[in-house]
Chain A
């Protein structure tokens, strides 16, 4: 009797962002190559994985671009859904699956969500902010779209190492916080360096007629931080974890408002 189903090679890749390895399995060599290119600098040889996903590639279908992200927790499993992908993940077994077409954007969105879930358990978060290392210290520049994240990243001097121009990766390690480089890019479309440093300050970005740093009241600091934390899950425990993580952060890291004119002299105030 001939064997009807042939064994297919299962290809794997570990994408390690923020020191959190995530292993991805696929049977499509082309897709694997795409991931290698997309996450260049973040591909790891780690044997350990915080999460592991089988990616099932589907045929292209109509996708409603307006459909938002839904992240729910039920019977111990996380369910992730957006118009262009579906995924499930069990944090106990660390196993999950992603169903999407062969494109880098869907898995990128899924990874961002998974990292917010991983970080929330440890008091960390992803933040809408640019970040860079200077003099072995990390500086975060938070703001909504248009606040100047890309601009301040573009103006960074040669001795500054860009971690991201869009989404910062913040982990609570010991008594302080550490910022890691991410491949999550904004308008600059340049991957961050895969390095890390202790967070020395968070600046809330504002554009104005001069470069200056002003103190921010603790309440405003917490509100602004919470407004910029990436948060997807419709889950009470996770909401509470994110809330308390933000307050812990502002109690340990100086938060100031950085008003700047769009020229490189602003970096004279940083570091």
Chain B
């Protein structure tokens, strides 16, 4: 089974405000608010860490969820975010790029 790698798309604008991650697509100005799982995924999406490792180390430790189910859900979330060009997905590690993520503003 091939591993998936995920990376934040540097062409979106992102901000975390009081723990709430908001992302705006540079393509069509659509604003997304990420839930907790998607936020963890977004923050860990460095292009080098495989998705299954993110699930094991970041999601399964945060939520009481079966690893297989967590992996399935995380893949679905990653593909959903990729469909909006928020995340990049590849079966190979993704080279890092300049990020537009900013920290908490409050």
Taking a contact as CB atoms under 8 Å apart, the answer to whether A239 and B24 are in contact is yes
Provide the residues of chain A in CB contact with B13, threshold 8 Å: 239-240, 243-244
Chain A residues with Cβ below 8 Å from B29 are 231, 239, 242
Asked if A226 and B24 sit within 8 Å, CB to CB, the answer is yes
Query: CA A237 – CA B22 in complex, angstroms?
Result: 17
Cβ contact of B105, chosen from A237, A242, A248, cutoff 8 A: A248
Q: Is B90 an interface residue (CB 8 A)?
A: no
| A243-B18 contact, Cβ under 8 Å, with A219-B33, A223-B31, A231-B29 | no
Assess whether B17 is in contact with A222, with CB atoms less than 8 Å apart.
yes
Interchain CB contact under 8 A, A219 and B17: yes
Chain A residues, CB < 8 A from B25: 239
Question: Which chain A residues have a beta carbon within 8 Å of chain B's beta carbons?
Answer: 217-219, 222-223, 226-227, 231, 236-237, 239-240, 242-244, 247-248, 250-251
Instruction: Knowing A240-B13, A244-B102 are in contact, say whether A219-B24 is a contact too (CB < 8 A).
Output: no
- Whether A236 touches B27, Cβ cut-off 8 Å, given contacts A218-B18, A244-B102, is yes
Query: Known contacts A236-B11, A251-B105: does B100 contact A222 (CB below 8 Å)?
Result: no
Interface size class of B (residues with CB under 8 A): 10 to 19
Nearest chain B CB to A210 CB, angstrom units: 28
- The answer to whether A247 touches B105, judged by C-beta atoms less than 8 angstroms apart, is yes
B79 in contact (CB, < 8 A): no
The reply to whether A218 and B106 form a contact with Cβ atoms under 8 Å apart is yes
Chain A residues with CB under 8 Å of B17's CB are 218-219, 222, 247, 250
- 5 A-B residue pairs with Cβ-Cβ distance under 8 Å, sorted by A, are A219-B17, A227-B31, A242-B29, A247-B15, A250-B105
Closest CB-CB distance, B10 to chain A, in whole Å?
Answer: 10
CA distance A180 to B37 in the complex (A): 42
